[in-house]
Amino acid sequence: MIFNRIAITALLAAAATAALADNALPPYLDDSLPAEQRIEDALTRMTLDDKIALIHAQSKFSTPGCPRLGIPEIWMSDGPHGVRVEFDWDEWQSAGWTNDSCTALPALTCLAATFNPELAGQYGNVVGEEARFRKKDIILGPGVNIYRTPLSGRNFEYTGEDPVLASRIVVPYIKGLQQNGVSACMKHFALNNQEHNRDAVNVIVDERALNELYLPAFRAGVTEGGVWAVMGSYNKYKGTYCTHNDTLVNEILKKQWGFDGVFITDWGSAHDTREAALNGLDIEMGSWTNGLTWGKSNAYDDYYMAEPLKRLVRSGEIDEKVVDEKARRVLRLCLRTNMNRQRPWGSMHTPEHLAVAREVAREGIVLLKNEKCFLPLRDGTRIAVIGENAVKSLTKGGGSSELKPRVEISPLQGIRERFGEKNVTFSLGYASGEPNYSNELPSPYDADSLRVAAIETARNADVVIFIGGLNKNYRQDCEGEDRATYDLPFGQNELIAAIREVNPRTAVVIVSGNAVAMPWAEKVPAIVQSWYLGSMGGPALADILSGDVNPSGKLPFSIPVNLTDCAAHAFGESAYPGVDGNVRYEEGLLVGYRWHDTRRIPARYPFGHGLSYTAFRYSDLATDKKEYAPTDTVTVTMTLENKGKVAGAETVQFYAAQKAPRLPRPAKELKGFAKTSLAPGEKKTVTVTIPVADLAYYDDTLRRWIVDDDEFTILAGASSTDIRGKAVFKTSSYSSLADNKRLP
Ligand code: BGC
């Protein structure tokens, strides 16, 4: 009897194990196995059709996965300042959902202006959490194209003119986002530095500038940020579209930097099946053509990387292994995102998200000028707020980064809440048309009446806060076309002059993602560079104007006096906007402050400039040694003291200048920075480390990075021109630099 019971139990156990074995997960679904093994297993189960399906769109923002194998669809969304609204399956129009709002974070220029990498990590995390909640697998951002001209329509979505600043911001953004199991898609690779003729322009740039300025932030995003996806740009480099450019994608991105993620088109940036297949493109999105007819809807089978590619594989002209490699990368992305059972659930509209949005906004706002402590405004001051940007929704417009925020508090509302309704009057002053990105819509208001009303409002107040700038309408910081001029639009310069006449106590707040001409700069007591600040823009601006928060933002780009003082505009049309389809970056390495400093053309406000309501004293700048080998790291220290009566934060910038370089170099280059908060009277030691390898320049003849045996000076500055301390050291034996693994 006992024997029988044991026998039966054993039989049952064996049956259960067998059943389990039958139900065992196939290796590609078994997350106890190594990812690469799972990917190879999935590939063996896929037909050519399955693999081809993985590598092109099925709708405006998704790819189909492999339903037969339970491999999920991949859902994408813009990016980069929050999660965009849902779109119709196959049309460029909002789907009209009511549950697709988001927290709008400040634009990336503002994030760059914080000079705060930790905050960049929190920013990425907010976008990641909301993307995850909205069931997105890829966020199309961040953008890290270098700011070359203040006319470029998309600078507001990028991180400024300096590659070190851009790199230090983009890496934590990517990590913060991807920790949610949502991929970042760094864009637009590469050289998308203008919107004018973006679909076709061929960029001619020397290899030094390419390597020293235009690629480093992308490289950092890949090698340090570990980004899982990269988007190609619309323009060309060396005559070939960047989206299927062998040098950029195969050689640099995938081979040199070891990128193992997916390389995605910009929407509609693929132009040729063979090139796309062979030159490293992994996913094709947004094409509107079968190669013959433009604007064909539901043309997914006609995509370059759909039926046309299948035909080339079937005919043996392209090896199926080429498709396998693309599918492998897509599957790797799936394991990192939608097939990762461990990924968090995400969250939406949390108070923490709004708090991050507000913190980024107030840390990014830059106080450009503050004569006789005009700001902060004292309580009880009668304030006239004038200008359309005090009330206009600036999360709208701009192109693909447009957002539908659940909360958006305008500057006027923020100022009223802080200073009291009764102390704040408002007048529109000027007006623009509705946001639109293909032409300029006229304003419905009469300009003269608006001006007369604004002047009356200004006359009757203690101070005027003029809130103007650009507005993300067509040619006013918007994708698809550049700004038409450096000047402010809608007669704002004249309006500011007229307001000043009746009330000289007029401060100007510029809302923009670009430098603008400021012919009135000498005549107004205070200027604030605000940005597209997102959901909490109003309260953040009020925090700064009231002094509840001490401004600490620094300019991520130079503000030239005249447009021709900017390098891209100093060489005629061939350098901008281009001639015969080519744009030549004649200024080479001398972009932004590198140009202003080296050519001694002062900017109105230099890169890195930003005032505080307190004053900081810099002292004791020193390096830990006097001479360094190529593999060493320079440790720079200095003392920073808050000499004023209020707490504040200062970003000390560390620039390097080389004494006698073998190849010409800019007068100085940013190598590191540190933001430090100090109570009144407090002193702290500020430390940054700079690997000697980061002092290298790119020798385009030898095609390698070199650090000369030479003398270097580290300059500690409150901006690129306000240098407060210097320390000198030497580097030695560059010939052994080949051993330095940090060099790309
Ligand atoms: C933009 C991309 C964007 C894509 C999808 C393109 O027009 O250049 O930045 O991610 O559209 O909306």
Closest CA to ligand 1's atom 5: 267
Give 267 Cα–ligand 1 centroid separation in angstroms: 6
Q: What is the pLDDT of residues 667-690, one digit of tens each?
A: 999 999 999 999 999 999 999 999
DSSP 255: I
Crossing angle of helices 411-419 and 537-546, rounded to 10°: 50
Res. 434 pLDDT band, cuts 50 70 90: confident
Tokens of 414: 């923020």
Distances (CA, A) of 408 to 226, 354, 358, 453, 571: 33, 10, 11, 26, 42
Closest CA to ligand 1's atom 4: 267
Closest CA to ligand 1's atom 6: 267
pLDDT given for residue 310 in this prediction? 97
Q: What is the pLDDT of residues 437-476, one digit of tens each?
A: 788 788 889 999 999 999 999 999 999 999 999 999 999 9
Interatomic CA distance for residues 132 and 227, integer angstroms: 17
pLDDT given for residue 296 in this prediction? 57
With 80 as the cut, is the pLDDT of residue 478 above it?
yes
Q: What is the pLDDT of residues 196-230, one digit of tens each?
A: 999 999 999 999 999 999 999 999 999 999 999 99
Using CB atoms within 10 A of its CB, is residue 380 exposed (0-12), middle (13-18) or buried (19+)? exposed
* HEC per residue, 630-676: CCCEEEEEEEEEECCCCCEEEEEEEEEEECCCCCCCCCCEEEEEEEE
With 60 as the cut, is the pLDDT of residue 740 above it?
no
Query: How crowded is residue 282: how many other Cβ atoms within 10 Å of its Cβ?
Result: 25
Q: What is the pLDDT of residues 355-397, one digit of tens each?
A: 999 999 999 999 999 999 999 999 999 999 999 999 999 999 9
Tokens of 214: 């235009």
Distances (CA, A) of 555 to 157, 465, 532, 547: 15, 21, 14, 19
With 60 as the cut, is the pLDDT of residue 292 above it?
no
**Ligand 1 atom showing the smallest separation from residue 400 Cα:** 12
Q: Please provide residue 296's backbone torsions phi and psi, each rounded to the nearest 5 degrees.
A: -70, 130
Q: Is any ligand 1 atom within 6 A of the Cβ of residue 195?
A: no
Closest CA to ligand 1's atom 11: 267
- Residues with Cβ within 8 Å of 121's Cβ and at least 6 positions away in sequence, in order, are 172, 173, 175, 176
Q: Is any ligand 1 atom within 6 A of the Cβ of residue 266?
A: yes
**Ligand 1 atom showing the smallest separation from residue 79 Cα:** 10
Res. 622 pLDDT band, cuts 50 70 90: very high
pLDDT given for residue 299 in this prediction? 83
pLDDT given for residue 291 in this prediction? 44
The 10 Å CB-count burial string (b at 16+, else e) for 427-438 is bbbbebbebebe
Res. 21 pLDDT band, cuts 50 70 90: low
Q: Is 266 a catalytic residue?
A: yes
Res. 24 pLDDT band, cuts 50 70 90: confident
Res. 18 pLDDT band, cuts 50 70 90: very low
**Ligand 1 atom showing the smallest separation from residue 185 Cα:** 10
pLDDT given for residue 295 in this prediction? 52
Tokens of 145: 């194209």
Between residues 136 and 3, the one the model is more confident about: 136
pLDDT given for residue 733 in this prediction? 61
With 60 as the cut, is the pLDDT of residue 316 above it?
yes
Q: Is any ligand 1 atom within 6 A of the Cβ of residue 157?
A: no
Q: Is any ligand 1 atom within 6 A of the Cβ of residue 187?
A: yes
**For residues 117-136, average pLDDT:** 98
Quickly list DSSP for 168-202.
HHHHHHHHHHHTTT-EEEEEEETT----TTTTTPE
Using CB atoms within 10 A of its CB, is residue 695 exposed (0-12), middle (13-18) or buried (19+)? buried
Q: Is any ligand 1 atom within 6 A of the Cβ of residue 400?
A: yes
> Measuring CA to CA, which residue among 307, 310, 271 is closest to residue 292?
271
pLDDT given for residue 321 in this prediction? 98
* Mean pLDDT score across all residues of the chain: 94
Q: Is any ligand 1 atom within 6 A of the Cβ of residue 78?
A: yes
pLDDT given for residue 591 in this prediction? 98
Spot the catalytic one: 162, 266, 302, 482: 266
pLDDT given for residue 736 in this prediction? 45
Q: What is the pLDDT of residues 555-597, one digit of tens each?
A: 999 999 999 999 999 999 999 999 999 999 999 999 999 999 9
Tokens of 141: 């951002």
* Residue spans of beta strands (DSSP E) within 244-399: 262-264, 366-370, 383-386
**Ligand 1 atom showing the smallest separation from residue 78 Cα:** 10
